[in-house]
Amino acid sequence: MGFRIDCLQYCNWSETVFRQMRAGGLDAVHVTIAYHETFRETVLRMEAWNERFARHADLIAPAGSAAEIREIAASGRTAIVFGAQNPSPIEDDIGLVEILYRLGLRIMQLSYNNQSLLATGCYEAEDPGLTRMGRAVVAEMNRVGMVVDMSHSADRSTLEAMEVSSRPIAITHANPASWHPARRNFSDDVLRALGASGGMLGLSLYPHHLKDGSDCTLQQFCEGAAIAAELVGAENLGIGSDLCQDQPDSVVEWMRTGRWTRAVDYGEGSAAAPGFPPQPDWFRDNRDFPGLAEGLRHAGFSAPEVDGIMGENWMRFFEAGFGPGAA
């Protein structure tokens, strides 16, 4: 069995969650530390993580490189990789990219649903592509070794990020729109371009991104994975579950609404039930991670392909994507 990596979670972090990571065999998890937070607020989130690392040192440890992930995994713990789902932590200052990298941030989205200073989110009516600052920030992220993530961005912005970036980019948590036409899922054209450029797609397990939502079956999910593999290549496929375990509904309101509106933005597929949707019964928490591998095997993926999707592909991507020495 190879490495097991989940490239997106935002749980209500606790010893229970960390023990479930260990029970599920997770070697590394990419955790969100910012949605709409400013630089100072993001630093406070890092402070909170430092307390968790001290309190649960037998279960988790921070990682900023593939080598550190390997070392932590070998010690029987789960490596925690910091990411931001919005460029808000850099505010309007490109110099903060390097500062945040030095503080441990390794993955950053260029937009979160809305237009940002860098790129267009998938909820905007028009997508003019990357802004001037966006192109400069991509170059700076490439320089320091921070991964460009376009999971919540619109198509043109995503395609331009692939063109501008000197390193492959990631869509850490989304699915093919041809399998389930959610606004947050991506078109075949974008996913083909992602695979052709060597980028990574993390398959999402968030119910709004799944066919039949919370009622999606493991077989259906694996059928979606097969479609994704045809588009990006099985070697460019991983898991980005978007697991938000034990979070109160107030957190999903912060994700969608932030500070940009006084109204409540319920988001796609959630007007009738504005809180978090229930997870499918085959993926309730990290302990169910091994079942994904079993489902992929039953769906016809080879043993090396399953190992790749479950984490080896992310490890290869991190080897090349993290740090200035990898360029």
Tens of pLDDT, residue by residue over 56-97, are 999 999 999 999 999 999 999 999 999 999 999 999 999 999
Contact 226, 300 (CB under 8 A): yes
Coil, strand or helix at 78? strand
Instruction: Give the pLDDT confidence score for residue 44 in this predicted structure.
Output: 98
Q: Please report the domains of the chain, with CATH numbers, ordered by start residue.
A: 5-326 (3.20.20.140)
How many CB atoms neighbour CB 236 within 10 A?
25
Instruction: Give the pLDDT confidence score for residue 166 in this predicted structure.
Output: 97
Tokens of 65: 């490189």
Residue 27's φ and ψ, nearest 5 degrees, are -85, -30
CA–CA dist 149, 319 (Å, integer): 16
Q: Which residue positions in the chain have pLDDT lower than 50? A: 270-272, 326-327
**Cα dist from 40 to 8, 103, 172, 238, 252, whole Å:** 22, 12, 25, 32, 21
Q: What is the DSSP letter of 34?
A: E
Contact 170, 107 (CB under 8 A): yes
Instruction: Give the pLDDT confidence score for residue 326 in this predicted structure.
Output: 46
Instruction: Give the pLDDT confidence score for residue 272 in this predicted structure.
Output: 47
pTM higher than 0.75, yes or no?
Answer: yes
CA 286-109-289 angle, to 5 degrees, is: 15
CA–CA dist 186, 253 (Å, integer): 23
Tokens of 276: 């978090």
Instruction: Give the pLDDT confidence score for residue 41 in this predicted structure.
Output: 98
Instruction: Give the pLDDT confidence score for residue 275 in this predicted structure.
Output: 85
Coil, strand or helix at 107? strand
Instruction: Give the pLDDT confidence score for residue 263 in this predicted structure.
Output: 87
Instruction: Give the pLDDT confidence score for residue 273 in this predicted structure.
Output: 55
Instruction: Give the pLDDT confidence score for residue 268 in this predicted structure.
Output: 61
First to last CA, the chain: 29
